[in-house]
Chains A and B, each alone.
Chain A
Amino acid sequence: MAVLTEEQTMLRDAAKGWTTDSAPVGALRKLRDARSGQSFDPAAWAEMGQMGWAGVIVPEEHSGSAFGYLGLGLVLEETGRTLAASPLLSTALIAASALNLAGTAAQKAAWLEKIALGEAVATLAVDEGAHHAPARTALAATKSGDGFTLTGVKTFVIDGEAADLLIVAARTSGKAGDTDGLTLFLVPGDAPGVTRTHLALADSRGAARITFETVSVGADAVLGEVDKGWAVLEPTLDRAYAGLAAEMLGTANAAFDITLDYLKTRTQFGQVIGAFQALQHRAAKLFTDLETTRSCVEAALEAIDAGGDTRALASLAKAKASEVLHLATNEMVQMHGGIGMTDAHDAGLYMKRARVAEALFGGAAFHRDRYARLQGF
């Protein structure tokens, strides 16, 4: 664990207390069984907003606390531990980042305070296929009068149905695959021509497919500069990678803790199964991976707070978090044996969230490829 300030420690302890008491794993199970199609419980999100967690990276003049990404990472890690479903990642981290990085005074004034207070849900609509590929954006934005018209499809948009604000990556020039020619637009979630469909994913949170049919926006909807959207999108995505990695680190650590507890209590052959060396070594290796992943996640968040090039560290964090969460949830089921395969046990909920989180914003292979390119090979 990074050396924390007193405020950071308080924030983490508050998050730990709240998720344990008010958003345990049972809350996600309840959300799933309600089959409401909601990606989170609005009442729980309202409480999180009241506690200030939606405004951790929002500047103070917009009612945030400006505690930084390491601070927000601590909250995400705690929500990851109990699989607490909320728009913390989509809204408080990703959308707030994009607005902070490139918003005009008017755009910031319109959205940041609402985000900080938990009164608005906002999300980034970037991917158009099942694999994360930001540069492959094809959704077309064509000039129309003073503004633009958007036509195309975005898919697997987290919290997309609930979103009041969509930050849409669109192509204003060039072709799919180019990083030049992209533009980000702020589009109200209920704008005419926007159709949202629920995609029920295994993690019980789901995502949205969003169709844009000649959606008209004004020139003031452009976030950043026309054709230069990559300059905002890439650092925003780095923040998404690091933030999601923090949440995944929490999920992996909780999966490990539950499993370790089981190794110490389940008896077979007249002894606790944790006395078997075959299991001990697997547990010790997993612990090693969890510790090195923590180093990467914290380093990425600290680097974002410090400014500068965060690309390699963000991809390192997301790749490592994907690998370790994959392993931790596999081991969770295997070491629990038959009980781990039952719906009554939480292991399945951890595994389902793990697989979705691994794929969201790029799996380990995507980030290894990006890391290698950044290192010049």
Chain B
Amino acid sequence: MADFGGTELDAFRAETRAWLEANYPPSLHAPMGEDDAPWGGRKMVWKNPDAKLWLDRMAERGWTAPMWPKDYGGGGLSKAENKVLEQELRRIKARPALMSFGVWMLGPVLLEYATDEQKKKFIPSIIRGETRWCQGYSEPGAGSDLAALQTKCEDKGDHYLINGQKVWTSYADQADWIFCLVRTDTSKKHEGISFVLFDMTTPGVEARPIKLISGSSPFCETFFDNVKVPKDQLVGKLNGGWDIAKRLLQYERQNISASGFGGGGGLDLVDVAKKEIGVDETGRLADGDLRARIAAHRMDAHAFALTVRRAEQESKTGNGPSAAVSIIKYAAAKMNQERHELMVEAMGLQGLGWEGEGFSKDELNVTRGMLRSKGNSIEGGTSEVNLNVVAKRVLGLLDHQ
């Protein structure tokens, strides 16, 4: 298995390595701060112009979406080639060229459900990072019960007219366009939902940031007041949006999970605990109770990483993410929350600073990171909904409703 096509892959690796060495801007070797996140889009202010250069160079090769078809500007790479590319990017510790809901969520469903005209119109600008997208899913009355959504979309002959409100719209205030679930038939629940795309600068669209317990505002309330949308911006069939919505959620959960909700703010839990609590004469963490819980957590994290690896090995090309992804999303949220709580516990009150002097930046991030992690078991489908999905689709138990 490992030998098959090895020669071509080796050549691809050599070529990729050489290209990366020639094209990765040296100034990006510095650690990436939160303000440096390369989200792209019309409102993006590039603090470091080299980050934009890196995006443009990668996009030119289609490598911001390496496995998408070349016809729409993607990289056209095979799974094996993509793996090589990922390895080579990791090797030089490259920053991501682009972070994008368009790449992670919208693009895959457009490739599956959109018309050729729609693909040509929307996909290349996702790949080039020119259009930043946001996700119009949740509403005040439709959270876990997403299909209860009520944002009204009426057929006005030559256009659609949208009225209603979304909430928890990630970065809506920064986004250029929205992919949005709307109600096109009020007589049915799931079969009355459609999937539409529109520009956030359309008259009648307003996004208001929501401040979270962590102090940051990654989410918005988004209001639609008589928003006119051209009819060719409906994706898939009228009233056929629920299938697309579910598919996109699978990609979203897969993406959240694969990252395990991101890093630990540069601090290692064991290092922190050793420093703050000390060790006994045999090198064991002096607090035996905390030590056991840290060990159990580390083992969970190890088991989780092995499971993500196994899922990758088992997944067959073309099938997309499976229902088993819900297991991973559930486990990832739990694990990330545990890690943050253990970090706070290991630091004591030093890990509960809110602002001002007496606390390092890392320490303040520990407090806020712990608070922010509470959303991990809510966003992208609550843990309870994920368990419902596993019970119904994987275990074959009856729908409890």
Contact = CB atoms under 8 A, between A and B. Distances in A.
B367 to A, nearest CB: 23
B299 A277 contact: no
A323 to B, nearest CB: 9
Nearest to A293: B303
Contacts of A372: 284-285, 291-292, 294-295, 298
B397 A368 contact: no
Given A292-B306, A377-B283, A274 B398 contact: yes
Nearest to B288: A369
A368 B294 CA distance: 9
Contacts of A263: 397
B309 interface: yes
B307 A280 contact: no
A165 B97 CA distance: 62
B27 to A, nearest CB: 35
Interface in A274-329: 274-277, 280-281, 283-285, 287-288, 291-296, 298-299, 312, 316, 319-320
A234 to B, nearest CB: 18
B295 A276 contact: no
Majority SS at the chain A contact face: helix
Nearest to B314: A3
Contacts of A276: 400
Interface in A1-37: 1-3
A231 to B, nearest CB: 21
B67 interface: no
A263 B300 CA distance: 28
B304 A292 contact: yes
B111 interface: no
B235 to A, nearest CB: 31
A269 to B, nearest CB: 13
Nearest to B386: A284
Majority SS at the chain B contact face: helix
A288 B314 contact: no
A287 B398 contact: no
Interface in B288-330: 291-292, 294-296, 298-300, 302-304, 306-307, 309-310, 313-314, 324, 327, 330
B270 A377 contact: yes
A258 interface: no
B298 A371 contact: yes
B387 interface: yes
From B283, B295, B298, B399, residue with most partner A Cβ within 10 Å: B295
Given A288-B327, A295-B309, A375 B398 contact: no
Given A291-B327, A371-B299, A281 B391 contact: yes
B285 A283 contact: no
B4 to A, nearest CB: 14
B299 to A, nearest CB: 5
Given A369-B295, A376-B283, A287 B302 contact: no
B397 A377 contact: no
Contacts of B330: 284-285, 288
A125 B1 CA distance: 41
Given A1-B314, A281-B387, A375 B394 contact: no
Contact of A264 (B279, B291, B299, B396): B396
B30 interface: no
A295 B304 CA distance: 8
A313 to B, nearest CB: 8
Contacts of B388: 277, 280-281, 284
A137 B198 CA distance: 72
Nearest to B1: A3
A177 B270 CA distance: 26
Given A275-B400, A288-B331, A377-B279, A320 B270 contact: no
A373 B283 CA distance: 8
Nearest to A317: B303
Contacts of A293: 303
Contacts of A277: 388, 391, 400
A260 interface: yes
A291 B307 contact: yes
A339 interface: no
Nearest to A373: B284
Contacts of A1: 314
A193 to B, nearest CB: 37
Nearest to B279: A377
Contacts of B298: 371-372, 375
A272 interface: yes
Contacts of A280: 387-388, 391-392, 395, 397, 400
B220 interface: no
A365 interface: yes
Nearest to B285: A377
From A292, A319, A376, residue with most partner B Cβ within 10 Å: A292
A295 B310 contact: yes
Interface in A244-278: 260, 263-264, 271-272, 274-277
A373 B292 CA distance: 11
Contacts of A365: 292
A260 B299 CA distance: 27
Nearest to A312: B302
14 contacts: A2-B313, A280-B391, A285-B330, A285-B387, A288-B390, A291-B327, A292-B300, A294-B310, A365-B292, A369-B295, A372-B291, A372-B294, A372-B295, A377-B291
Sorted nearest first, the 4 A-B pairs with minimum C-beta distance are: A280-B391, A295-B306, A284-B390, A372-B295
